[in-house]
Structure 1
Amino acid sequence: MAWSLGAGVAYDVTDRLALDLGYRYVDMGDTESGWNNFLNARGLQDEKMKANLVSSEVVLGMRWAF
């Protein structure tokens, strides 16, 4: 299951120009791979990858109305 949360503000510099500042956090959950399928020096399947997939972004933008 994935979820996202965001917030932002905009400031009108002039009637035609606005500056934006935003933040977004995305959590895509935990995942893990299967055991390795290649031969290593000891002949063991001893490697497994685990990850917590998250993203945190700050966005700065500019809008021009024409």
Structure 2
Amino acid sequence: MGWNLDALDDCLRGGRGATIAFTLHWDCSAEARTRLAERVPVGDGELVLFDLLLEVFGERGVSVIRR
């Protein structure tokens, strides 16, 4: 499907990807937060990449359980 946030968003919209709604159990999420600390432009501001991922999941109806 791709290797970027647009591809993830496309996958979560349905059709060819995941069936919404589901729950993602994110193991090692604290380590992921550390590794995904890059700030990325969003609209008129920026977000930490980890937080942007959580936002994308939330907007598409995916529940995320961080472990």
TM-score normalised per structure 1: 0.18
TM-score normalised per structure 2: 0.18
Say which one has the larger Rg.
Answer: 1
Of Structure 1 and Structure 2, which has the larger fraction of its residues in helix?
2
